Amino acid sequence: MPLTKPGSEEQPSSVRRSTQNRYAVLGALAFIVRFAAFGSFFPYIFLWLESNGFNTHSRGVLGALSGLARFFSPMVVGALADWSGRRKLIFVAGMLGNAAATAALPLVPRSFGAQAVLLALGGLVEPGSLVDAFVMRSLAWAGVASAAARARAFGALSWAAAAPLFGALSTTYGLPTLFWAYCALNIFVAAPVILLLPIDAAYAAVAA
């Protein structure tokens, strides 16, 4: 059943406000969970490499490879999503691919080549650009585009709070636990929340 755009004459004002508030909360939750997951990975990936014997030069090269892959990711993932029209499917596939590459970091040989392949692959398929697009377009479609800035702010606060908490967790359970927490948060919490947004309706409105 097609969704009714909030703010249309078909909806009473109380229903419209409730719908808009729901999407604003979902957008904020999407960024809160995503950035909390980032707080378990990005601050600690170089500590992981250092703990496995990679020198400063090797860590720099591996970080550069990961960063380069993430630089090209929006172009690759976005182009594929637009070309296929199956944006939600590409999003899920990217989340799963990124999670698989991240979860495998502690499981493969601790060699430069193995770590480089996984870091590059995980960065290339990471669908962060789709998350941004889904949230922004959904909130704009719902008539609460201004809520996007607040959602991003909540995400930044989430990172700041989560990073030290995950650091404390790593002292007890080890750095690999943080990578698996990153995967679990993205797959089992962030992805379902994001998919509750009116993504199809928002893109259909743009196409129309």
Mean pLDDT of 26-55: 96
Mean pLDDT of 193-206: 93
- Residue 6 banded pLDDT, cuts 50, 70, 90: low
Q: Is the pLDDT of residue 4 over 70?
A: no
Mean pLDDT of 2-28: 78
Q: Is the pLDDT of residue 104 over 80?
A: yes
What angle in degrees, to the nearest 10, is found between the helix axes of 56-84 and 87-104? 160
The three-point CA angle 156-158-163 to 5° equals: 100
36 CB-contact burial (10 Å; exposed 0-12 / middle 13-18 / buried 19+):
buried
How far is CA 110 from its chain centroid? 26
- Residue 13 banded pLDDT, cuts 50, 70, 90: confident
Contacts of 93 (CB under 8 A, 6+ apart): 125
- Picking from 115, 117, 116, the residue whose alpha carbon sits closest to that of residue 106 is 115
Q: Is the pLDDT of residue 45 over 90?
A: yes
Distance between CA 93 and CA 87 in Å, rounded? 10
- Residue 125 banded pLDDT, cuts 50, 70, 90: very high
Task: Check residue 1 and give its pLDDT.
Answer: 45
Task: Check residue 12 and give its pLDDT.
Answer: 64
Could you read off the pLDDT of 131-147 as tens digits, one per residue?
999 999 999 999 999 99
Distance between CA 71 and CA 54 in Å, rounded? 23
Listing DSSP states for 67-127 in one string gives HHHHHHHHHHHHHHHHHHS-HHHHHHHHHHHHHHHHHHTTTS--SHHHHHHHHHHHHHH--
